[in-house]
Structure 1
Amino acid sequence: MIWVEIRVRQEKGMASLEVEGELDFSNVELLQREIQRLPEEVVEVDLQGLQFIDSSGVGMLLSQARIFYKQGRTLRIVRIPSHIQEDLEVIGFFRVLEVLETKPNA
């Protein structure tokens, strides 16, 4: 298993998960479980310490964002390292998130 560390901070109505290391198919379920167990209205996933993410990590984040959207909650992906952000832009990651942030009938 590739190394990943997840730190959780919870405040009133909001939680933050700081992800450090590498996120891939071997450990993506760890982050998914942490996201799913949080009851807060807003959950931020801070990727500042992330060195690598593969397609399973990207897919899981989009899947969780969709689930949150359907629940009327917000999943934010923040502080993305530039080398990862460039790859996410190429595959259209942020366009999907923008659609999920748009409220129906808005």
Structure 2
Amino acid sequence: MGLKVNFTRIENVLLVRLDGELDHHEANHLRSEWQQILQQQPIEHVILNLEKLYFMDSSGLGVILGRYKEMQKSSGEMVICSISPEVKRLFDLSGMFKIMKLVDNESFALKMLGVAS
């Protein structure tokens, strides 16, 4: 199936919605597209919606961790929301939720970051 990616900017927040499979074939494309958007637009925070992502491997975790570190360097936040059970298990096993916040949905994440939806 591959990966469908939707980037939406809401004020100073980049909303990233992933749909499908994030594996090593898709990771490089996602990484370059995401970095390009972060460099071109004034983005302070990222919300990553994983509701429709049903498969991810370690290369996908690497892409997400890299963008998380970019946000940290600029004193921004990355918030994960609406995660599927399959992908949540990978995040749990990797320890990613020790550093990243997980919330129920986009609306809550936007409110948490001070952006009205």
2:95 — aligned with what? 92
Structure 2 unaligned blocks of 5 or more: 102-117
Residue 6 in structure 1 maps to residue 11 in structure 2: no
Superposed, which structure 2 residues align to 1:15-54 within 5 Å? 15-36=14-35, 37-38=37-38, 39=41, 40-54=43-57
Q: TM-score, normalised by structure 2?
A: 0.73
Question: What CA distance in whole angstroms lies between the structure 2 residues aligned with 1:80 and 1:41?
Answer: 22
Deviation at 1:67, TM superposition (A): 1.8
Higher mean C-alpha deviation, range 30-39 or range 48-57: 30-39
1:55 corresponds in structure 2 to 58
Identity, % of aligned pairs? 25
CA displacement, residues 68-99 of structure 1 (integer Å, 9 cap, x when unaligned): 1012122222211012112211221111336x
Identify the match of residue 79 of structure 2 among 76, 81, 85: 76
- Displacement of 1:3: 0.7
Number of residues of Structure 1 aligned to a counterpart in Structure 2: 97
Whole-Å Cα distance in 2 between the matches of residues 25 and 19 of structure 1? 15
CA distance in 2 between counterparts of 1:56 and 1:71 reads: 23
Q: 2 CA distance for matches of 1:92 and 1:43? A: 19
- 3-state DSSP class of the match of 2:32? helix
2:80/2:100 contact within 8 Å kept: no
Conservation of the 8 A alpha-carbon contact between 1:35 and 1:43: no
Map Cα deviations across residues 22-68 of structure 1 (whole Å, 9 max, x no partner).
Answer: 00111112222233223311111111110100000012211211121
Alpha-carbon distance in 2 for matches of 1:45, 1:31: 13
Select between 75-84 and 32-41 the one with higher mean Cα deviation. Answer: 32-41
TM-score (normalizing by structure 1): 0.80
